[in-house]
Amino acid sequence: MCTGTCSRVVGAALWPFALLCIVANILLAFPDWKTQYVHDWGRHLTPEVLYLGGLVGGGVMVLVPAIHIQATGRDGCCGNRCGMCLSVLFAAMGVVGAIYAVSVAMLGLVHGPLCRYQENGTSTDWGRPLWNSWESSSKESYLFNTNRWDTCLEPRGVTRFNVILFSLLLGSGLVELGLCFVQMFNGLFGCVCGTCNDKEGRELQTYH
């Protein structure tokens, strides 16, 4: 596979994962599929949702490189050595965005959701009970003990909701990270050796 074709494949592959990150981050702002928690986001939304790891990191910071990377595999201003060199920088930008998305997703999974829960059998309050109880009394993470997922009373089903969406964000970010690393090496090779477009152009000139 030549460097230009590889760029087209990498660029096209980045699109669905970047869009998945954006959608997952947006959905995380609506636990229990309700909008009321967005109105008082400082108290009712998990902080990792507000870090916008999926929207900014795995989303915008990967979509922009994906556009250029895909363009380097086509005939035109980007399908040359210079375009390949620039694609390395764009891919590095994608790596930073993917790392940010992965980091935020991991924090969201480890810390657990922000929710209203019952404390001491009588009172209720908003907090992160799964994270606190894991640190203080249990060595086992709630991720591996689904019996504790019902600790949160409101929003309903928020633990499962967060685990699924943060897991999607984590998986997408890891795939984006791998694809951007591939393009960094592919771009370096294309910068030194040229692209298929360069070779096809020389062949056409020789033929004429």
Q: What is the pLDDT of residues 15-25, one digit of tens each?
A: 999 999 999 99
**Range from 7-16, 72-81, 161-170, 173-182 carrying the lowest mean pLDDT:** 72-81
pTM attached to this predicted model: 0.86
Is pLDDT of 77 > 90?
no
Cα-Cα-Cα-Cα torsion 114, 112, 150, 40, nearest 10 degrees, comes to 10
- The span from the CA of 113 to the CA of 150, in Å, is 11
Across residues 177-205, what is the average pLDDT? 73
Instruction: Show the tokens assigned to 177.
Output: 């990270």
> If pLDDT is split at 50, 70 and 90, which confidence band does 148 have?
confident
